[in-house]
Copies of this chain bind each other. A is one copy, B any other.
Amino acid sequence: MAIHDVECCETFQTHEEILKLVNEQMPDEDELYDLAELFKVFGDSTRIRILYVLFEAEVCVCDLAQALHMTQSAVSHQLKILKQSKLVKSRREGKSVFYSLADGHVRTIIAQGREHINE
């Protein structure tokens, strides 16, 4: 029995190999942190609603505020978060700023989530 094996559930057999496998496959701490941060962004129904609007069209901030019955400030705060995680991108046109989806992962992730809860 390897020196770093510690008693647990009074069994010893597979612990070492499992720990080895896990350590090989587990992303490093930074990536785990980034991954959690990304999913946190999806973990708010306001932001999901914003993304659903952007599924249909590129829209400006006041369009979003109107469509979702929210203040423009609240929308802007959430758009900032979505932009920081590179889920949306923006483009200024005169006084307005237009937002759109940054890439296709957004649709896939939400589609998979939806599949899961509808099982």
Contacts and interface: CB of A to CB of B under 8 A. Distances in A.
Given A57-B14, A112-B109, A36 B48 contact: yes
A85 to B, nearest CB: 8
A63 to B, nearest CB: 6
Q: How large is the interface on A (under 10, 10 to 19, 20 to 34, 35 or more residues)?
A: 35 or more
Given A18-B67, A31-B114, A115-B105, A36 B42 contact: yes
Given A9-B62, A25-B52, A67 B117 contact: no
Contact of A117 (B35, B43, B110): B35
Interface in A41-63: 41-45, 47-49, 52-53, 55-57, 59-60, 62-63
